[in-house]
Amino acid sequence: MRKRPVVLVLALVMAACAAEAPAPESGPQLDALVDDYIALVGQRSSGWDPTTFRADGSPDLSPERFDADLEPRRALLRRLEALPVDGLALPERTDHTAMLGFLRTDLYSAERRRPTESEPLLYVPVGAVSRLFPDPELDLAVDQARAATLLAAIPSALDQGKTQLGEPAQRVTNEAIFQVRATLANLDSNLLRLEGDAATAGAAASAALTEYLRFLEEDLLPRSTGSWAIGKQHYDYILETRWGMSEDADDIIAMGRAAFAETVAEAQVVAERIAPGSDWVEVYEELKRDHPTAEGLKDAYQEQMDAAQQFVYEQRVLTLPEGEAVITVDTPPAMRRSSPFGTFDSVGPEDDHLQGRLVLTPIEEGLTPEQHEARLSAHHTAWVPIIAVHEAYPGHHAQALKVYENPRRLRHYVRESIFSEGWGLFTEQLMFELGFLQGDDVKLTQLRNRLWRAARVILDASLHTGQMTFDEAVDFLVEEVRFDRVAAELEAGMYTGRPTYFLGYLIGSMKIEEMRDDWVAIHGEPTEPRELWDRLLTIGSLPPALVRAELFAE
Give all domains of the chain, ordered by start, each with its CATH number: 6-113 (1.20.58), 120-223 (1.20.58), 246-552 (no CATH)
Please answer whether residues 305 and 282 qualify as being in contact, where contact means their C-beta atoms are separated by less than 8 angstroms: no
Bond prior to 50 in cis (omega within 30° of 0): no
Work out the burial of residue 50: count CB atoms within 10 Å of its CB; fewer than 13 is exposed, 13-18 middle, 19 or more buried: exposed
Cα–Cα distance, 522 to 517 (Å, whole number):
9
- Count other Cβ atoms within 10 Å, centred on residue 243: 28
Q: Provide the pairing of β-strand 342-345 with 355-360.
A: antiparallel
Q: Apex CA 529: angle with CA 528 and CA 531, to 5°?
A: 75
Phi then psi for residue 345, to 5 deg, are -110, 110
Rounded CA separation 133/139 (Å)? 11
Beta partners for 415?
541
Sign, CA dihedral 325-328-330-332, equals positive
CB 112 within 8 A of CB 238: no
Q: How many residues does the chain have?
A: 554
Task: Using alpha carbons, select from 387, 379, 481, 377 the residue that is nearest to residue 428.
Answer: 387
Rounded Cα distance between 310 and 315, Å, is: 8
Q: Can you give the pLDDT at residue 50?
A: 61
The torsion angles phi and psi of 541, rounded to 5 degrees, stand at -85, 65
Q: What pLDDT score does 46 carry?
A: 63
Helices (H), 83-224: 90-113, 115-118, 126-132, 144-164, 170-189, 196-214
Measure the N-to-C terminal CA separation of the chain; round to a whole number of Å. Answer: 27
Instruction: Please tell me the pTM assigned to this model.
Output: 0.88
Classified as helix, coil or strand, 11 is helix
Q: Give me Rg for the CA atoms of the chain.
A: 25
Quote the CA–CA distance of 200 and 147 in Å, as a whole number: 10
Cα 70 to Cα 524: distance, rounded to the nearest angstrom: 48
In this prediction, residue 51 carries a pLDDT of 65
Element (H, E) at 429: helix 417-434
**Extended strands (E) in 288-395:** 325-330, 342-345, 355-360
* Residue 394: cis peptide before it, omega within 30 degrees of 0: yes
Q: What is the pLDDT of residue 215?
A: 98
Around 252, how many Cα atoms within 13 Å sit in the side-chain half-sphere?
35
Q: Residues in the chain with pLDDT < 50?
A: 1-22
pLDDT computed for residue 374 by the predictor: 86
Residue 119 region, left (φ>0) first, then alpha (ψ -120 to 50), else beta? beta
